[in-house]
Amino acid sequence: MKTVMVVVGTRPEIIKMAPVIRALQKNRIPLTFVHCGQHYDYNMSQQFIEELNLPSPDYGYKVKAYSQGAQTARIIAQMEKLLKKTSPSLVLVEGDTNGVLATALAAVKLGILVGHVEAGLRSFDLRMPEEHNRRLTDHVSTYLFAPTPTAENNLKKEAVWGKIYVTGNTVIDAVLQHLPLAEQKSKILEKVGFSKFALVTAHRAENVDDIVVLKNFLEAFDEAPIPVVYPMHPRTKKRLRQNRIYSKIKKSKNIQILPPVGYLDFLVLMKKCELIVTDSGGIQEEATAPCIRKPVLVTRLSTERPEAVEAGFAKVVGIEKRDILKAIETALKNRRKLPQKSPYGDGHAAEKIVEIIKMELSF
């Protein structure tokens, strides 16, 4: 029997694959759902699966590894065993994590077709492990589901072997599907101590593993002209404790640290905040959804989401304290009217992807 295997491993993958899983179910396409184990913390993964009313994974793993290479290798080994056991017709992966690359490599070595959701993103910054992952995954994939024409052009320039389809990004599907539920269920605003605030996140290795950069961020947040609400990634909290900074930050009257929040809570925080300061790629996309439409300051040196910048939603502000503070002040003072439409599609990306799969594999 022909089946599609959907593999996730992190919070953003679960969110972006949720509409695809629903579209596969709606079309009655046999589905195997796998969690490859890259994030094994409950708050970072299983919580999101339950919140989004997704089926429990048919197979789930926990991968504890202390280096990029070890984690990637362990996921390759376990996915190879599973793929041999289940023999799916197609493996769908999303994004640019170690789990995505590992799963794609395991599949292609066994002659199993790979479909890459969100193909063609490029930061052109090889310091980022995500850039290696997304490039390599694109070059072993049979079907490349590019979210935008810019992503399509990147793939064509690199002469990838697979078939390219421009579908939009499933992240917009996810926001539109889940915000009404979030506003109905979430109680997160009862925990927020400010009526107006900036929402901030930081989790990328090149930022939080560099204590100088991390201090820049925290000093900027502490001195920001608007209170900051900061759901803190476990990786960041660990780094702060290692450098004996966490207790000091907890005492700041301008920063409210929250534990990692669920997806529904995060949607409500995005909807309510004045602006977003982040190093996340997915949040740059989510902020462009018609029901969110918030300015985003990107605390990185580059972005693989140039469409958000070109549309006026996002601005890359770098990692220096002075630049971050100036950008926050400017964004609050000069509020720009943001576009009504997202550059990442109309919220029907998952349906388009599943229609392509039906056509290509004759489901």
Positive or negative: CA dihedral 330, 210, 267, 123: positive
Residue of 108, 141, 112 whose CA lies nearest to 3? 112
**CB within 8 A of 204, min separation 6: which ones?**
128, 279, 280, 300
User: What is the token pair recorded at 105?
Assistant: 């490599």
- What are the DSSP calls for 15-30, one per residue? HHHHHHHHHHHHTT--
Cα–Cα distance for residue pair 104/126, rounded to 1 Å? 20
Cα–Cα distance for residue pair 210/204, rounded to 1 Å? 10
Which residue in 132, 203, 233, 348 is the catalytic one?
203
Is 203 assigned a catalytic role? yes
Cα–Cα distance for residue pair 304/118, rounded to 1 Å? 11
Strand order in the sheet with 255-258: 255-258, 228-231, 198-200, 275-278, 296-298, 314-316
What are the contacts of 309-314 at 24+ separation with CB within 8 A? Answer: 310/343, 311/338, 311/339, 311/342, 311/343, 312/336, 312/338, 312/339, 313/284, 313/287, 313/288, 313/338, 313/339, 313/343, 314/284, 314/287
Catalytic positions are 203
